[in-house]
Copies of this chain bind each other. A is one copy, B any other.
Amino acid sequence: MSAPLNINAPRFWRTVERSDAIGIGRAGGLQRVALSDDDKIMRDQFVTWCKEAGYAVTVDRVGSIFARRAGEAPDLPPVVIGSHLDTQVNGGRYDGVLGVLAGLEVLRSLDDQRIKTKRAVEVVSWTNEEGARFSPPMVAAGAFAGVYPVDWVLGLKDDDGIGFGDELRRLGYDGRAPVGGRPLDAYFELHIEQGPELWERNIPVGLVTKGYAVRGTVVEVMGETAHTGPWPMDKRKNALVGAAMLAVAVNDIGWQFHASAGKATPSRLVAWPNKPGILSDWAQVTCDFRHLDPQSADQMKALMLAQLPELAKRANVEFKVVQEWVFGNERFDPACIGLLREASSRLGVPSIDMASQAGHDAYHVSKVAPTAMIFTPCRDGITHNNHEFADLERTLPGVNVLLNAVVARANRV
């Protein structure tokens, strides 16, 4: 058995620092939402790096970018490494970015060390993982896995009514490649933990075995406009009041499950007309329930649904669930996890098994390919925040684990 491989750490971190400069948000953070002008600059930079290294770049119809380092056996399905380059509006510099740039660095390190693999190795940057501009999140990986129809994704609108497909065209990322429909040998994703455990325990690698169960809903509230002044309380149908009551109820459910690390979030509330002087006749609340135990997640959501009639009565409005989604039931692939575990061991990198609390593109990909994830430490677990922080020292072991696991997988015939 040959000695374990190592990436070129300074080169890797230079790509991260270049990304830090594209789409600067609040101090320390990034505001590089999907299909924005800054997203295009980052995409162009990524494509330039890939082409300079000689990888074949393809863009699929939902804008995901694949760069391929050829293998000896071109007919075999590739090993794919990926994550996302888009961020939240108050996002950090590492969430998603580390995974794509780690993938690029793995390919470059293989070149440096003149390692040939039987299977091609690809790196992918999925479009719109965050869902910060176009809801739902992880939509391009979902389309790749056949969860969402391509035309439905292209028809998504942002809050200003601008279309996903129109923005892809505007930025020149309306690719020709079909979305999914081809076999992958395996998919690996490296990502910051987005929780405090690795950082606090000073362990560089988390091996993700499963995800927290997530139950999402969008609830619409129907009321009636009227004048803020004369309209009597007992005739009011202020949709904003109904939405606020629902938001408070959802938060309370989170507290009910706090002891078992459950979370419930009203993450978004919009109302119309939402102006001084007039009662709103429409509102919408996005509700998110998460629990390690899928039954508890179901129970949290059921508790919310069970309260709707009572809240409807209190606020004199009507509620309607207009969107629902589920993720995090996925189990990752034991063989792929085994390769990561083996690589950690050979490299002498301490690791622990973990469950992911956040959603990742890997969840969707796991439906169509053997998949595993590596978590790396982020300070205090802070994420989706400009104070998100990771450093090369704590990230490097994970990238080396990724490199060795990918080589092991890609050499396999």
Q: Please report the C-alpha to C-alpha distance between residue A197 and residue B229 in the assembled complex, in whole angstroms.
A: 14
Q: How far is the CA of A247 from the CA of B283 in the complex (A)?
A: 14
- Known contacts A229-B358, A232-B258, A265-B228; is A89 also within 8 Å of B273 by CB? yes
Find out whether the CB atom of A225 lies under 8 angstroms from the CB atom of B275. no
Contact of A275 among B131, B214, B233 (CB under 8 A): B131
Asked whether, in the complex, the Cβ of B131 is within 8 Å of the Cβ of A229, the reply is no
Q: Which of chain A's residues 284-310 have a Cβ closer than 8 Å to chain B?
A: 286, 288, 290
Interface hit among A105-113, A173-181, A236-244? A236-244
With A276-B135, A278-B384 already in contact, the answer to whether A229 and B241 are too (CB < 8 A) is no
Whether B230 lies near A357 (C-beta < 8 A) is yes
CB atoms of B290 and A229 under 8 A apart: yes
Contact present for B286 and A266 (CB under 8 Å): no
Task: Please classify how large the interface on chain A is, using the bins under 10, 10 to 19, 20 to 34, 35 or more.
Answer: 35 or more
- Asked if A212 lies at the interface with its beta carbon under 8 angstroms from chain B, I say yes
**Contact A261 to B232, CB < 8 A, known contacts A244-B244, A269-B244:** yes
Can you report 25 A-B residue pairs in the complex whose CB atoms are below 8 A from each other?
A90-B273, A132-B273, A132-B277, A135-B276, A194-B227, A194-B229, A226-B384, A226-B385, A227-B357, A227-B384, A228-B267, A228-B288, A229-B357, A230-B383, A233-B258, A238-B266, A240-B266, A241-B266, A244-B266, A245-B248, A251-B315, A269-B269, A269-B271, A270-B274, A278-B384
Residues of chain A having any CB pair with chain B under 8 Å: 88-90, 130-132, 135-137, 193-195, 212, 214, 216, 224-234, 238, 240-241, 243-245, 247-248, 251, 254-255, 258, 261-281, 286, 288, 290, 315, 357-359, 381-386
